[in-house]
Amino acid sequence: MHANVAIDRPINVAIIGGGIIGVVLALGLLKRDVSFTIYERAPGFREIGAGIGFTPNAERAMIALNSSLHDVFKKVSTPNTEDWFQWVDGYNHDDVSDPHGVKEELIFKLYCGKRGFEGCRRQDFLEGLVKLIPEKNIKYGKSIVTVTDKEDGAQVLMGFQDGSTSEADIVIGCDGIRSSMRRIMFGEEHPATQPSYTHKFAFRGLIPMARARAALGNDKASTRFMHLGPDAHVLTFPVAMGTFLNVVAFVTDAEDWSLEGGKFTAPATKDDAVRAFAGFGPAVRAIMGLLPDKLDKWAIFDTRDHPAPTYAQGRLCLAGDAAHASAPHHGAGAGHGIEDALVLATVIKAVENVSVGSRVSRIRTALRTYDAIRYERTQWLVESSRVVGELFEWQDEACGRDPDKFGREIDWRSHQIWDYNIDKMIRDTEAQFSQRLQTELLLPAELHLPALIHHLKQFPNTFSQTEDKSCHIIQGAATINIDTTDTTNVS
């Protein structure tokens, strides 16, 4: 390993997938002057689904990644009339004093922070972000088929369905839950290539706000509510600057999901939704009655049963749903993908800022660092999202319908997500990358001492040289003392 290798050209990153996470990562790299290209299989950018919300940690990650993307979010997001997330009993209703059925018993409420956990339409957010990316950095109609990480140090070779090829130093799969990159990395037969049905599906739709307010009242239509019940629950929140009420109505399904072509969506009607929630209270039934006549039924898949064993393999890696798709019950999957993007942008820039060993070895060390920083937190989210989905539908035996037990579970799980220290995550990423580089540097059997000292001076937090020319290297919990007056090799 050479101690000082000049970078002869900028690192180039290939981003596979032009959804929200791919575009967010691109903006993080753009901010740090890292070269990138987005390869999107569709002829243009589009987001599947209606509304999306971001928790406070996700907003902090946006600001750290590129403040412009946070500006876009705030422009398209709809403020709630209250900064509290409210969970209500959407099933029981026996209050004769409430003839319109709007009143639902409060089970728990949680403060989200000032303008916290706001929502927007997915497409509005994506369109605003894409405007910030130079057109030359985007290639459409590119469906990835093969990726070859060459051992000789040459760039990674990508092959696309249209027969074209391209090269990059790093290839990052941001291509969603049905990731082609995940299949390429682990092989067609690996269990992690296929997501698992969570045995829940959702009716999703938008209700014009005027109709929602007329049926539910201004308060219930203008802020975030979760309507709970047995084996089903409904999430509602305003989007599109308050012109629509976003509705996601979840239903437990005992059957396996089977649809021709492996699609995760199926056509449905308002009557299907009305029947599914026929036993719920008047407020929920009113919401179902306001949905459009034609709907889609969305199967909820995740990667809990067969998680990816790692998010990084050589110079390839996964981010967002491609790495750790979770059920949407925490409303935090996309936010965790933004955290992924921040770590990747940070550590890839760090690769350009040091000159240790080969470019390939630095990149592989960087991606291993990303995997180490992100794996545990994101896998916890996948598991916890399943748990809270059961809590919302009174399926958890330990909690049941007990509001106190429910509140304690929701409180600690939500704050585990929301209170994450984004600044510390960045510092940990930089520190761990630095430590890993040093560890790799010290691995060779022999290393010329002047070259060692020259390199270690790039890491001032772990290296010092005293007046008597002795050196002190902090390696983990130990301090290694080297007498630099000795001109022999270090081994």
Q: Which residues, at least 6 apart from 283, have a Cβ–Cβ distance to it below 8 Å?
A: 90, 93, 101, 102, 103, 104, 216, 220, 227
Q: Is the pLDDT of residue 166 over 70?
A: yes
pTM of the model: 0.86
- Residue ranges of alpha helices (H) inside 44-165 are 56-65, 67-76, 122-130
Average pLDDT, the chain: 87
Are the C-beta atoms of 456 and 471 separated by less than 8 Å? yes
Average pLDDT, integer, range 455-462:
53
Average pLDDT, integer, range 386-415:
96
Q: Sorting pLDDT into bands at 50, 70 and 90, what band is 151? A: confident
Q: Give the active site residues.
A: 204
Sheet holding 478-483, edge to edge: 463-465, 470-475, 478-483
Given this model, what pLDDT does residue 456 score? 55
Q: Tokens 């740090």, residue?
A: 32
Q: Sorting pLDDT into bands at 50, 70 and 90, what band is 50? A: low
Q: Is the pLDDT of residue 216 over 80?
A: yes
Beta strands, E only, 17-117: 35-40, 51-54, 84-89, 106-111
* 94-120 residue pLDDT tens: 665 665 668 899 999 998 877 777 878
Q: Sorting pLDDT into bands at 50, 70 and 90, what band is 122? A: confident
Are the C-beta atoms of 294 and 267 separated by less than 8 Å? yes
